[in-house]
Structures are given as structure tokens and as C-alpha cells.
Amino acid sequence: MMQNLSLYSIIKRPNYHRPLLFNSVLWSLAFVILLFVFSKGKTPITIDFIYTVTFLAALAIPASINFYILMPRLLKKERYIIYVACFVLNLLLFAFLSSWLLQPILDALFSSYFFISYLSKTNILLVFAIFLIASTLIKLAEDWFYYNTNENKLLRLKNQQIETQLSALRSQINPHFLFNSLNVIYALALEKKEGITNAIVQLSDILRYVIYDSDTEQVTLRDEIKLLKNYIAFQNHRVKTPYKTDFDLDVKDEGFKIYPMLLLPLLENSYKHGIGTSKTTQPISIKMSQAGTNFEFLITNVNLDNKNQLREKHSGIGLENIRNNLNLVYPNRHQFEVSETSEQFKVRLSINNDIP
């Protein structure tokens, strides 16, 4: 069985998120918009470029604090009230500082230019508020995009992993079944029984289903019932017992879908460990019921191996594969119980097909 992949380590690589690209687009767009505003829609001149770049530098400080301190430490940890309070404080502090210091700084750095007031103190506060709110929404939208991209990547990888595991499990089931079936044909041939021709035809039908028809996500109960009946008829060629297998069906909808090859290994185990020509004291008992979204399969056989490593034999490849399959395709929607006494071995499988 292949080991589980570290899926989160695959999709959480830094190169899936490109902050350099995000900031380049954001600040380039902000530069174009503010330059248009400050030049009042006319062809911008040198002084307009200088003022726009300086104003963006002033905006970059509270925006960076918001992006890389407030949002990851407060907003993304659902500390909303504290985040709003810090957001407003960050906005007011740097808006007022800019309204007081921006003009003197420009006059000191570019003394050869005469800067007029592009924005009033109230408008500076308004521009800061609009930019910080808009950039926060854009950053949240970007995070949402990358989050969904990563979630979809994770789901695809999980599905691929599940399909790989199911294929590996099924590749183990088929040779196991084929090996047992060939042993039956071999025994019939040695004894030169008349039913060998019918047995070969039945085996051919069973193998066609196991190898080809079951290679799908779901099959109907109708097909599984037919498979079990063919298998029982096939096994009747191998052993003659005073008891016939008791197959009790209470199925409301034979079109009910289940994962293939869950039931046959249970029947195989019952024949392998519960049937003996001289030791059999009771028949294999099968009860299958289905109503609505619920399905139950109960199989019971006499315990002939109670003194010979019973637990090991009955916990072999067949039952282990069923457990693995159920955990993959019916997580939290199934029950699989194996119980045994000195006289009896019993397996109960129940499935709820109602997907939440």
C-alpha cells in the first residue's frame, strides 16, 4: 500500500502566491489613478509625477502595516473588533501625519519646485480611507482566489490519491479471487466431475464481472446479487454439503448503488473457513437488506478454525481490503463489524448512501 502523500506541503509552496506580482499591479494601478487625479485629467507634468510618487510613499506605510501586520495577526484570526479599531487608528494616524508633513517634506526635498496644495486635509483623509479600504478588499479577494485555487488543487490530489489506493486494493483482490477459483477448477479436473464444463462457464462470467464490469466507481445491487449467486453455484461444484447456502434478500431497490467488490471477499472467506464436507454443521447464512439510503449485509458461517489461528486467517487480505476500501469511499458513513465465538463467525456491513 502506498504511503499517504503530504498534500498540504505540496500545495502550500510559496511560488503559488506571488506578493511581488500583487504589489506591482496594485501600486501601478494606484499610481495611474492618483496621477490622473492630481493632474486633473490633463497631461501630467514633472511636479505631478513627484507629488504622486511622494503621496504613494506615504500611503505605502499604513497599507503595508495593514497587509502584513493587522490582517494576518488580527483579521485572519477572526479578531474583528480589534482589527477594526487598529485599522481606524492606522488610517487616522498616517492620514493626519501626511496632511501635516507631506507639504513641508516636498518643499524641503524639491526646493526648485513650487508645490501647491493638491488636496485639503479632509480630502487626504478621504483618499487614505478609500485606498486602505479598497486595497484591503483587493487583498481579501486575492487571498480568496489563492485559497480556492489551493483547495481545488488539494481536492484533485486527494482524488488522485484515493483512485490510486483503490486501484492498488482492487489489484490485490482480483488475483486473490482468481487463485481461489483456479483451485476449484483444478480440484474438479482431478476428480473428473461432470460439472466441470458448467463450472468453467460460471467462472468465466464471474471473472468477467470482477475484472471488467467492476472497474467502475459504483455498481448496482442487482449486479452484486447476480455475482454472489454465480459464486455460490460455482462453489457447489467444489463441495457437497448437507446444507445449502441460505441467501435471504430484502431489497427494495435493486438499482441501489454501492462500491464494487465489497461483498464477494466476505463470501469467499465464509466458504474458505466455514465449509467442510464432513465438518459443516450449519449452512452459510446471508442476509441482505436495503431500504432508502441504507444497506446492510450480514454473513454468518460455522467456525471451523477456532483452534487454528482464527484471528489471523479471518483478518487476511480480503477483510483488510474491505476495511481500507470502506474508509476511502464511505468515510463516516459505514459500519464494519467482525465478531466470532468458538462456534460461529459473523461479519456485518452497513452503509449509508446519503451523502451529507
Selection from 54-58, 177-181, 230-234 with the highest mean pLDDT? 54-58
Domain 193-352 indexed as CATH 3.30.565.10 = yes
- Helix or strand or coil: residue 171? helix
Global pTM? Answer: 0.53
- Is pLDDT at 211 greater than 80 in this prediction? no
- Is pLDDT at 174 greater than 60 in this prediction? no
Is 267 within 8 Å of 286 (Cβ atoms)? yes
Q: Which pLDDT score is estimated for 164?
A: 63
**Would you kindly state where each structural domain of the chain is located, as residue ranges?**
7-154, 193-352
Q: Record the cell numbers describing residue 173, joined without a space.
A: 483482490
Q: Which pLDDT score is estimated for 163?
A: 63
pLDDT band at 311 (very low <50, low <70, confident <90, very high): very low
User: What span, in angstroms and rounded, lies between the C-alpha atoms of 268 and 273?
Assistant: 9
pLDDT tens track for 40-99: 888 888 888 998 999 999 999 999 999 999 998 999 888 999 999 999 999 999 999 998
Q: Which pLDDT score is estimated for 356?
A: 57
- The four Cα atoms 280, 282, 286, 287 give a dihedral, to 10 degrees, of -170
> Average of pLDDT values for 132-139?
92
- Is pLDDT at 261 greater than 60 in this prediction? yes
Tell me what the pLDDT averaged over the chain comes to: 80
- What is the layout of strands, in order, in the sheet containing 246-251? 246-251, 285-291, 294-302, 344-352, 334-340
- Is pLDDT at 176 greater than 80 in this prediction? no
Q: Higher-confidence residue: 243 or 290?
A: 290
